[in-house]
Amino acid sequence: MTPDSPHAPKPGLLPGERLDDLLTDQLKIIQSPEVFSFSLDAVLLARFATVPPRGRVLDLCTGNGVVPLLLSTRTAAAIEGIELQPRLADMARRSVEWNGLGDRLTIREGDLRAFAVAPPDAYDAVTVNPPYLPVKSGDIKSNVHIAMARHEIGCTLDDVAAACGRLVRSGGRVAMVHRPARLADIMEALRRHGLEPKRMRFVHPRAGAEANMVLIEALRDGRPELRLLPPLIVYGEDGAYTEELLDVFYGRRRELIDANAPSDDDAERGTGT
């Protein structure tokens, strides 16, 4: 019996850990209040990113592995995740093992600033949910796991963009979730590393409220042409999640609306999916 068999013994939970339901395809994920647990931004990233039906996909700053797990429901590609913090990388590996996905998902412990591959091995798509705050912005938590998830302690925005540009193939896609306040920095960093922004969608907590997240996707070596998608509203007037949010939470939709519509540039290149 292989470790990835559905009947294989499940990996154990360490003290303080719990097993949460991802509400999609019976997937489970190991979490702990002692480290930074995933939130809505990771779910939206996994449902926004354009991924190939096959090939190779890489998730940077993978944390406890939520994005690779959710991406596994959308593609038959081999998916890798890279995480700097040993404890989170271990949790991600055990979550992969728990779900019997070790034949498709690989979690690496490592620093994205040093990770490189030869050009023939470049990835077809890269996703990333990086730390949002510069080190000098806001209070840094004493809990190192939470501090590194929120602040650019282990990598800066430019480090992230450089890694994405280095690791994705020409014509491949990079999807990121971040804060709208950093949008000018994001656009500048992506372009500096050969990544042309192609699709963008703002996320608003309620209709009429200021956006608090931005989803952005870039094309390696693409031509300038940015599509601004309709805003994504999280809560309706009744305070409940909107239908689109419920659909992606419960797996009724594997991708956000209009997530994979190719641009004219993609059609010319033949890179649209």
* pLDDT, tens only, 149-168: 676 778 999 999 999 999 99
Q: What angle do CA 59, 220, 96 make, to 5 degrees?
A: 15
* pLDDT, tens only, 70-104: 999 999 999 999 999 999 999 999 999 999 999 99
Quote the pLDDT of residue 134.
81
- Is residue 222 pLDDT above 50, yes or no? yes
CA distance 257 to 66: 21
Quote the pLDDT of residue 36.
78
- Is residue 2 pLDDT above 60, yes or no? no
- Is residue 272 pLDDT above 60, yes or no? no
* pLDDT, tens only, 128-142: 999 987 877 666 666
Q: Mean pLDDT in the chain? A: 90
Largest separation between any pair of C-alpha atoms in the chain: 55
Quote the pLDDT of residue 205.
97
Residues 48/255, Cβ–Cβ less than 8 Å: yes
CA distance 118 to 105: 20
Q: Buried (b) or exposed (e) across 208-219, using 16+ Cβ within 10 A?
A: eeebebbbbbbb
138 Cβ partners below 8 Å, 6+ apart? 150, 151
- Is residue 263 pLDDT above 50, yes or no? no
- Is residue 5 pLDDT above 80, yes or no? no
- Is residue 9 pLDDT above 70, yes or no? yes
Quote the pLDDT of residue 251.
83
- Is residue 229 pLDDT above 80, yes or no? yes
Quote the pLDDT of residue 149.
67
Q: Which amino acid is at 128?
A: V
Q: What angle do CA 224, 74, 28 make, to 5 degrees?
A: 125
Quote the pLDDT of residue 271.
44
Per residue, what are the HEC states of 122-178?
Answer: CEEEEEECCCCECCCCCCCCCCHHHHHHHECCCCCHHHHHHHHHHHEEEEEEEEEEE
Nearest to 254 by CA among 39, 45, 47: 47
The pLDDT-based confidence of 3 (bands split at 50, 70, 90) is low
Q: Which two tokens stand for residue 218?
A: 């870039």
φ, ψ of residue 134 in degrees (nearest 5):
-60, 155
Residue 63, SS3 per DSSP: coil
